[in-house]
Structure 1
Amino acid sequence: MTATRPVPAPDFVGYPEVRRSVRALLDGRPGTGGHPVPACPEWTVADLLGHLTGIAERVLARHGGTPPPVPDEPLGVPALLDRWDDVGAEVDRRLAAAGGHSGEIMVMDAYTHELDLCAALGVPPAVEHAAWAPSFDVLVRGFSGSLAGRGLRPLRLRTTGGSAWTAGTGRPKAAMTAPAHDLYRALAGRRSHVQLAALDWSEAPGPWLPAFSWGPFVPPRQPGL
C-alpha cells in the first residue's frame, strides 16, 4: 500500500476566523473607533480596520475581482466590519478557486493586527486560532531571511509548550525560548530590544537583536504589547 501525504492546508486558512474574531471583539465594544492602537502608534481602531479592508480589496483585485467603490466619507467601525466581511468572503472564494496557494501574507497581517486589537483593548488573545500556525510560518521565514541577510548564525526558536523551529541557514547551536504568544509578537516587531533580551536565551542575545528588524517590522523603542 502506498502511503498518502496529508493535503496541505490552503494558505488563506484562518482568514475567516480572523474576521469573525475581530467582529466579536468590536461588536461588544461600541465607540472604540477612535481608540488608539499602541502597537501601531499612528492608528486608531478605525484606522486599523481601514487597513485590513484595504488589503482585502487589493488581494481581491489581484485575483480578478472588483472591489466596491471607495466611500465618499470615512466609514465607522460597523460599516468597516461589514465591508471587510463582504470583500473577505469574495477573497475566500477566489483563493479557494485558485487552489488556495495564495494569501499567506494577508492572513499573517490580519492575524497580527487582531492581536494588536486585543492588546489595545486589554482582551486576552484566543488560546487556539486557525491563523496562528500559517502566520507563524510566514514570520519564521521572514526572520530566517533577516538572519541570513545579516550573516548571523541560525537560531532555534522554541515555545515553552515544546514546539520548535529553526530560523536561518545551517544547524543552530543557540536557542531562544518564550511562550508562544510572546514568540509570535517578537517575530512580528511587537517586542522592544529590552523585552527581546529578557526572553530565555542560551547565549547572549546581542548579535541576533538587529535581525528582528525585517520587512515591515521594527521593534518599538518602548516595551510593546
Structure 2
Amino acid sequence: MTSGARNAVVAEDHVGYAEVRRNIRRLLANTPGVGAEPVPACPEWTVRDLVAHLVEIAERVLTRFGAEVPSAVPGEPGVGELLDRWDLLGAEVDRRLAVAGGQRGEVLVMDAFTHELDLRFALGHGFPAEHVAWVPSFEVLVRGFSGAVVERGLPAVRITTPGGSTWLAGTGPVGAGVTARPDVLYRGLAGRRTAAQLSALNWDTDPARWLPAFTWGPFRPPISPVE
C-alpha cells in the first residue's frame, strides 16, 4: 500500500502491541508534563486518563488469560508510573499472545493503536510513517463497519486508498465507494470524524444512507470536529 498507507507488514498481535507501548512511551518522554492535557478525540480524558485506560485493558486481558495480575501502586500514580506498570503487564500479555498464536489479540491491538493515534494528534504529531499495527487494526475497523452495514440492510461499500488498496464493507452488490487517505479512513471508522467530515470524503454517490453505519460497537462520530 502507498500514499500514507504505512507499513503493510501484518505482524502478529504481540509485535504490534509492543510497538504501540514503545511509541507511546517515546511520545510522552519527548513531551514531559502533559498528563493533565486534554485528549480531544476522547473528550472526557486527559493524557493520564488515556494511559490509565491502556493499563486497565492490559489488566483485563491478563485476567481473561487466567494470569495473576501484579498489585497496582497505591494512590494516584503519575504517567511515568502508569507507563512502567503497562510495560510490566504488557510483557506478560505479549508472551501469552505469542504462545496463543494467530490474531487472538487483534481487538486489543486496535484499541491500543487507536489511542496511540489519539495521543499523536493531541500532542501535535501526525500519523506514523510506518507501524506494524496499522494493517491488522484497520482490518478490525473495516470488519466492524461491515457488520454495521449488513445490520442496517445497506448495500456494500468499497473502501479505497489513493494507492489502490481496496476493502469491501458489507455483502452483496456494491452501492457506494469512498476513497481517502488511509489515516483519514482509519480515523473515520474509529469514530474520530464528524458526519460532516465523513460526508466530505470522496464518495461516488450520496453517502447519507451509509452514515449511520459509522456508529458501531464503541464508536460513533463526534458532534464537533476533534481533529
Is the 1:194–1:223 contact (alpha carbons within 8 Å) kept by the matching residues of 2?
no
Shift of 1:163: 1.0
Other-structure match for 1:142: 144
Q: Which runs of 5+ in 1 are unaligned?
A: 1-7
Other-structure match for 1:51: 53
Equivalence map 1:55-204=2 (5 Å): 55-204=57-206
The CA distance in 2 between the partners of 1:92 and 1:100, in whole Å, is: 13
The CA distance in 1 between the partners of 2:139 and 2:13, in whole Å, is: 11
Over 4 Å off, 4+ runs: none
Relative distance call for 1:12 and 1:137 in structure 2 (3 A) is: farther
The CA distance in 2 between the partners of 1:90 and 1:129, in whole Å, is: 21
Shift of 1:66: 1.4
Report Cα offsets for 1:76-123 as digits up to 9, x if no partner: 111111111110011000111122441110000000000000111111
Q: SS state of the match for residue 123, structure 1? A: coil
- Aligned CA-pair RMSD: 1.2
User: How many percent of aligned residue pairs carry the same amino acid?
Assistant: 60
Is the 1:35–1:44 contact (alpha carbons within 8 Å) kept by the matching residues of 2?
yes
Q: Which has the higher contact order (CA 8 A, sep 6+)?
A: 2
Q: What is the aligned counterpart of 1:211 among 207, 210, 213?
A: 213
Shift of 1:9: 4.6
Higher mean C-alpha displacement, 95-104 vs 202-211:
95-104
Letter in 1 for 2:76: P
Letter in 1 for 2:36: G
Is the 2:176–2:207 contact (alpha carbons within 8 Å) kept by the matching residues of 1?
no
The CA distance in 2 between the partners of 1:169 and 1:224, in whole Å, is: 31
Shift of 1:35: 0.5
* Count of aligned pairs between the two proteins: 218
Relative distance call for 1:74 and 1:22 in structure 2 (3 A) is: same
The CA distance in 2 between the partners of 1:183 and 1:101, in whole Å, is: 22
Letter in 1 for 2:42: C
Other-structure match for 1:33: 35
Report Cα offsets for 1:41-97 as digits up to 9, x if no partner: 000000000000110111111112111213321111111111111100110001111
Is the 1:161–1:180 contact (alpha carbons within 8 Å) kept by the matching residues of 2?
no
Q: SS state of the match for residue 165, structure 1? A: strand
Q: SS state of the match for residue 155, structure 1? A: strand
Other-structure match for 1:5: none
Q: Which runs of 5+ in 2 are unaligned?
A: 1-9
Is the 1:56–1:87 contact (alpha carbons within 8 Å) kept by the matching residues of 2?
yes
Report Cα offsets for 1:21-55 as digits up to 9, x if no partner: 10110011110000000000000000000000110
Other-structure match for 1:3: none
State TM-score, norm by structure 1.
0.94
Report Cα offsets for 1:127-172 as digits up to 9, x if no partner: 2100000000100000000000011110000112221100001131
The CA distance in 2 between the partners of 1:122 and 1:149, in whole Å, is: 37
State TM-score, norm by structure 2.
0.93
Other-structure match for 2:7: none
